[in-house]
Amino acid sequence: MDTIGVLMTCPMYSYLEQELDARFNLFKLWQHSSKVDFLKTNQHKIKAIVGNTKIGADAELIDALPELEIVATFSVGLDKIDLRKCKEKGIRVTNTPDVLTDDVADLAIGLILGVLRNICACDGYVRSGKWKDADFELTTKFSGKSVGILGLGRIGAAIAKRAEAFGCSISYHSRSQKPNSNYKYFSNVIDLAKNCQILVVACALTEETQHIINQEVIDALGPKGVLINIGRGAHVDERELVSALLEGRLGGAGLDVYENEPEAPEQLLGLGNVVLLPHVGSDTIETSNAMADLVIANLEAHFDNKPLLTPVI
């Protein structure tokens, strides 16, 4: 297989890079100053793209690679892939579901506890020496609070399971009601926000869910409400979120994703009621290895004419 050309779109994980390099003819898009020239020269060699949440496979890239057979993304999210184009051209698409579900769900709970119990602020308080002068103020209890989940897929369900262990009541909004679920369903996101104290965004980013968290939803969540986003930055009207936090119309936020990564809104950087993470939802050694192995397994299956492990298209 080492003659098969695989194009990696950006640096994502050194173990994955090494494994791809060992098995295929690996091209690294970021090493070429003129992408246009590079693609023109090598377009016939490349049969696969390995992308991620930063750089996936858009129409332009797909069109530049006439021999492209498969896009294997190092993520579960598909928002950076032109799925319609892939379908049109008969290009297979795989992602990395399930292996990262636990880590993302763990991080969502970590963000909730970080915001409600001010864990990061407390850590800073101790490190700065302020504890010698005064106790930190009261923080807010998590156990028993009501949690609303937007998107009850694998990740949403895993978050619900964890929150239940804290005695939380769970409600959700999803494209459709889940028949086997004991959780309370709301047919729209505003009612969900009105009826929970902590709202977690755990759905896929599609045309419908762009800015699904807008001013109305944020106001419904309210001054004691907390927004947790482990989905995509574009799920949230970020400008609206920032002003709501600055004005106290929203109680707090825990964010792993932003509209313009790696830029996080400057006005949030000094706030005490937010926790800001640099898109680390699945960033553990164990899960990154599992994701990489899954990408490789999908590519090998495809080029061996075997069934794909985690096909999307």
Partner 1 sequence: MAAKQNQENLPVVLVYRRPQFNLPHRNRLSRHFILLDPADSQEPTSSFLSTYAQSVRALLCVGYSTITSETLSLLPSLELIVACSAGVDHIDLQECHRRGIAITNASVAFAEDVADLAVGLLIDVLRKISGADRFVRGGLWPVMGDYPLGSKLGGKRVGIVGFGSIGSEVAKRLVAFGCSIAYNSRRRKPSVPFPYHANVRGLAADSDILILCCALTEETHHMINEGVMTSLGKEGVIINVGRGSLIDEKELVQFLVQGKIGGAGLDVFENEPDVPKELFSLDNVVLSPHRAVFTPESLEALIDLTSANLKAFFSNKPLKSLVEIEL
Residue closest to 205 by CA, chosen among 247, 243, 233? 233
By beta-carbon proximity to partner 1, the closer residue of 118 and 298 is: 118
For partner 1, the closer of residues 111 and 203 by Cβ is 111
| Closest distance to partner 1 from the beta carbon of 247 (Å) | 20
**Choice among 92, 232, 235, 302 that is catalytic:** 232
Distances (CA, A) of 103 to 106, 281, 282, 283, 286: 5, 6, 5, 8, 10
Distances (CA, A) of 110 to 40, 224, 225, 292: 46, 19, 17, 24
Least CB distance from residue 239 to partner 1, whole Å? Answer: 18
Residues 163-202 that bind partner 1 (CB under 8 A): 164-167
In the complex, minimum distance from the CB of residue 283 to partner 1, in angstroms, rounded to a whole number = 5
Cα 46 versus chain centre, distance? 28
- DSSP 3-state of 138: coil
User: Cα–Cα distance between 313 and 301 in angstroms, integer?
Assistant: 14
Candidates 30-38, 40-48, 117-125, 236-244; binding stretch for partner 1 (CB under 8 A): 117-125
Residue 144: CB atoms within 10 Å: 10
* Per-residue 3-state assignment (H helix, E strand, C coil) for 145-194: CEEEEECCCHHHHHHHHHHHCCCCEEEEECCCCCCCCCCEECCCHHHHHH
Establish if 263 lies at the interface with partner 1 (CB under 8 A): yes
Instruction: Check residue 156 for interaction with partner 1 (CB under 8 A).
Output: no
Query: What phi, psi does 238 have (nearest 5°)?
Result: -65, -40
29 binds partner 1 (CB under 8 A): no
Regarding 143 and contact with partner 1 (CB under 8 A), the answer is yes
Is 235 catalytic? The answer is: no
Among 131, 223, 224, 239, binds partner 1 (CB under 8 A): 131
Region binding partner 1 by CB under 8 A among candidate stretches 98-106, 184-192, 197-205, 300-308:
98-106
Distance CA(22)–CA(2), nearest Å, equals 7
Q: How far is the CB of 16 from partner 1 (least distance, A)?
A: 13
| Residue 232 bears catalytic tag | yes
Radius of gyration of the chain (CA): 21
Residues near partner 1 (CB under 8 A): 102-103, 106-107, 109-111, 113-114, 117-120, 122-127, 131-132, 135-136, 138-144, 161-162, 164-167, 261-264, 269-270, 275-278, 280, 283-288
